[in-house]
Amino acid sequence: MLGNMFNKNMMEKMRVQLEEIKVKLNNISVLGAADNIKVVANGNRLLTSIDIDADFFKTANKKQVEELIVLAANRALEQAERVEKSEMSHAAMGMLPGLG
């Protein structure tokens, strides 16, 4: 019975910590860029903005713009994934100090 209580307390503590990490990640911005296109994502891997230089449309065709948006978005999402993994790793070390 004592073991079950310990497990429940540990699980609740982990759940709360994960929620705190989600909030923190939501407030972290990362940038992915490709030529004149910038894409911003948060640490939860959600795109928050896309900025395309207005002059870029004068020389680029639709296909180029689309390809660069995809490239910039993928770069932003890769950055966000690294940030997320780092935060989760720090949290895991805090919960299980003997594993770090």
How many distinct structural domains can be found in the chain? 1
Q: Is residue 5 part of a domain?
A: no
Structure tokens that stand for 37 in this block: 């296109």
Q: Is residue 35 part of a domain?
A: yes
Q: Is residue 99 part of a domain?
A: no
Buried b (16+ CB within 10 A) or exposed e, 51-90: ebeeeeeeebeeeebeebbebbbebbbebbeebbeebeee
Q: Is residue 91 part of a domain?
A: no
pLDDT value at residue 13: 85
Q: What is the CATH number of the domain that holds 36?
A: 3.30.1310.10
Strand partners, 50: 39
pLDDT value at residue 100: 46
In 3D space, the residue among 97, 79, 3 whose CA is nearest the CA of residue 41 turns out to be 79
* pLDDT surpassing 90 at residue 12: no
Residue that is written with structure tokens 């680029």 in the block: 60
Q: Is residue 57 part of a domain?
A: yes
Q: pLDDT, tens digit, for every residue of 19-77?
A: 999 999 999 999 999 999 999 999 999 999 999 999 998 999 999 999 999 999 999 99
pTM: 0.80
**What range does the domain containing 53 cover?**
26-86
